[in-house]
Structure 1
């Protein structure tokens, strides 16, 4: 049972991430915006994580690099939350999952680290599964908001940038300090981009605080702690595969909470994407070992 504890922690963290898009979309019915929701989530998460004792002090200029890394995930969250106001939550998560091959593209462009043939093949299957899972061939596809598509693609690109940066920056920094700085950078970036919107809205009441606490605790603080404990125990490759649970959980939540439809073609596309993403993570982990 001890051996199963750490994989379960990673699975649970990924599943908690997966619920966010549906709940965010539900919060929009109360008049809240992506700007204030994402900002409050990041700010409260930084405060909660800052309460966790840290074992070692931060050295050098690592703090600046981590703040910039946080800017990437802050931008990704804001764009992703913004996209679900234009398109369905299930389609938004399908497009967000393109970060898997975007990260390969960034590593090639920035670090000249070329993808191998197996990884390129899995990219083909991810794109094929995306068309099926997103129901992009359906006769109503022309009615899809392309603004939502662009926003979710931009979110996927920013998320890929966060993953690439996070894998290379702050390796010697303990997870508590690293998490606080990343969330602080996230909150700061969201505020700078949306200062006017956040200042103009007057939703900072008890109801909004409850929503913000839910997003911060369930969507960031607990998953961050679970990943911090579980990932080092089972390795990055296995963790990346387990974390793909975020995808089906997001689609199922959208179906049950928002009553978004799921067709057999979409289910097949989801299975293809999950298989391809798992294969890609497997090949990447084999490279690093």
Structure 2
């Protein structure tokens, strides 16, 4: 429960921070795959979900051993809807957008999702936005603006820069809907069962899109020689961090997880600099600091 006080144990802290850093490797792996293969976003996403599938099937088996009540029709609709909307759509927006923007900027825009969650709870569920949250929202959007304008000047030669940024922005919105919805469903459905079924529904969405939406079998055949990208995305950047952060929430609470997860954009920017050769510039540093402060405020003061 959100109102419960959680102590930050060493185990909970380590699990959360490692999970957050692993999540931040996703953009790096995707950018490296785009640079070294001819795979498109949909094919790469197909690989990611294919190799994730066995882990989530296993999670369902474990969840069934817990003896939980069967899901109601409404719960099934909620889990499937959130999986399709929150993970299938957000991943598609994210992978497509990463073709046009840097990994550092992607992570920074994506990290707006806690602020969107606050706005959704305010507009849809009539939860008041307290003064601390208002300050946090101002800081985060100011930070994104500073970083974005700085990168826009550097990346002015990229004609798809704004389109890619918009897709990442949509990803952040859809993922925030998943976070808000999951926060309301997990207490009744169970964290393992919810995560597994939501991810399976998103996997079905990706497969259906590939089959009926113009996926390239030729690119998929080529992907056979680049199978390690799919395995890395599935295991290192999807399955492990998903369950690590869920475990972290159990141990230290979602508020503390939100605060510790602020390491994510910093981790991505550092990895992008050393692995992809992306430049670190003053506007990016200033914007990142403001966004992280804003997210920490939201995590710290959320009721």
Q: Same fold (TM over 0.5)?
A: yes
Aligned pairs, number = 284
Partner of 2:71: 59
Q: Give the stretch that moved more between structures: 5-14 or 204-213.
A: 204-213
- The whole-number CA distance in structure 2 between the counterparts of 1:59 and 1:127 is 39
Distance of aligned partners of 1:201 and 1:79 in 2 relative to their CA distance in 1, 3 Å threshold: farther
* TM-fit CA distance, 1:171: 1.9
- The whole-number CA distance in structure 1 between the counterparts of 2:149 and 2:16 is 29
1:197-225 CA deviation, whole Å, 9 max, x = no partner? 32444324543332211111011111122
1:128-157 CA deviation, whole Å, 9 max, x = no partner? 111233343763464451111111111111
For structure 2, the residue ranges without an aligned partner over 5 or more in a row are: 1-7
Partner of 1:146: 162
Q: In the alignment, which of 204, 210, 214 is matched to residue 232 of structure 2?
A: 214
Q: In the alignment, which of 245, 253, 263 is matched to residue 235 of structure 1?
A: 253
* TM-fit CA distance, 1:99: 1.4
Partner of 2:42: 35
Distance of aligned partners of 1:134 and 1:148 in 2 relative to their CA distance in 1, 3 Å threshold: same
TM score, norm. by length of structure 2: 0.86
**Pair 1:224 & 2:242 matched:** yes
Partner of 1:202: 219
Q: Give the stretch that moved more between structures: 266-275 or 194-203.
A: 194-203
1:104-137 CA deviation, whole Å, 9 max, x = no partner? 2222222122311211111111111112333437
- The whole-number CA distance in structure 2 between the counterparts of 1:176 and 1:281 is 23
Q: In the alignment, which of 189, 199, 203 is matched to residue 173 of structure 1?
A: 189
SS of the counterpart of 2:107? helix
**Pair 1:10 & 2:12 matched:** no
Would you identify which runs of 4 or more consecutive aligned residues in structure 1 move more than 6 Å? none
* TM-fit CA distance, 1:95: 1.3
Across the aligned residues of Structure 1 and Structure 2, the Cα RMSD in angstroms comes to: 2.0
- The whole-number CA distance in structure 2 between the counterparts of 1:141 and 1:202 is 29
TM score, norm. by length of structure 1: 0.90
**Pair 1:155 & 2:162 matched:** no
Q: Give the stretch that moved more between structures: 244-253 or 4-13.
A: 244-253
Tell me if the contact between 1:35 and 1:197 (Cα under 8 Å) persists in the aligned partners.
no
For structure 1, the residue ranges without an aligned partner over 5 or more in a row are: none
- The whole-number CA distance in structure 1 between the counterparts of 2:298 and 2:56 is 31
What are the within-5 Å matches in structure 2 for residues 113-152 of structure 1?
A: 113-136=127-150, 139-140=153-154, 142-143=156-157, 145-152=161-168
- The whole-number CA distance in structure 1 between the counterparts of 2:225 and 2:196 is 25
Q: Give the stretch that moved more between structures: 157-166 or 123-132.
A: 123-132
- The whole-number CA distance in structure 2 between the counterparts of 1:156 and 1:13 is 19
- The whole-number CA distance in structure 2 between the counterparts of 1:154 and 1:201 is 29
Distance of aligned partners of 1:229 and 1:262 in 2 relative to their CA distance in 1, 3 Å threshold: same
- The whole-number CA distance in structure 1 between the counterparts of 2:166 and 2:148 is 14
